[in-house]
Amino acid sequence: QLQLQESGPGLVKPSETLSLTCTVSGGSISSSSYYWAWIRQPPGKEREWVGSIYYSGTTYYNPSLKSRLTISVDTSKNQFSLKLSSVTAADTAFYYCARLIPAAWRFDPWGQGTLVTVSS
Amino acid sequence: DIQMTQSPSSLSASVGDRVTITCRASQNISTYLNWYQQKPGKAPKLLIYATFSLQSGVPSTFSGSGSGTDFTLTISCLQPEDFASYYCQQSFNTPYTFGQGTRLDLK
């Protein structure tokens, strides 16, 4: 059974870089059948697709975040990561990682999510 | 970006009720519409994909319908474990976008 788990600091200072890692277990991140994604939801606001990556390293970013965003993959560790630079309070959110399945471009399964707060 | 509008934003119902949640897209998305359930502190769970297809393991009391811009998620007979939040998501193009969610609680 595939499982995903987010990890990283829960508190980041304004203007710094938010870094999160998603560890995939129960399956290989190198599968050619899937993509891997980050989704976030600020408290009380709408859920937002952040971006996606293929095991080869090809990335797809939300244009609203593209200038500050880097998503990378480490197949040797079965992990993929998110880095968001120059954060502000608006980046405070629950961050989820998920597998993205091309058939219907659906997210399944998801990690439990981690709350990242941007505050000094 | 395609805007997804869900209604209602909250809903109170009883065990055994039939409930319907709607999702409207700001443009034609064919049947590229997925539904998720989320309970507090838990990972979101895929319920229905491509408008109609029930994810493996999801009870048949859940069903989806629609096409174009208007979609519905129906729970035919509410069970205690169904009280949760529900979100639609369009997968017609990127950036993928979600509805604001519908919170279903016990009347």
Q: Which of A92, A88, A4 minimizes the C-alpha distance to A48? A: A92
Using CB atoms, pick whichever of A104, A106, A109 lies closest to residue B43: A109
At residue A79, the 3 state secondary structure works out as strand
Cross-chain residue pair B94–A60, CB shorter than 8 Å: yes
Q: What is the pLDDT of residues A85-102, one digit of tens each?
A: 999 999 999 999 999 999
Q: Say yes or no: B30 contacts chain A, CB-CB below 8 A.
A: no
The pLDDT score that the predictor gives to residue A55 is 94
Q: What is the pLDDT of residues A39-58, one digit of tens each?
A: 999 999 999 999 999 999 99
The pLDDT score that the predictor gives to residue A79 is 98
Q: Which of A87, A112, A80 minimizes the C-alpha distance to A14? A: A87
Cross-chain residue pair B87–A48, CB shorter than 8 Å: no
CB B89 within 8 A of CB B97: yes
Cross-chain residue pair B98–A46, CB shorter than 8 Å: yes
At residue A119, the 3 state secondary structure works out as coil
**What is the average per-residue pLDDT within A64-72?**
98
CA distance A52 to A38: 6
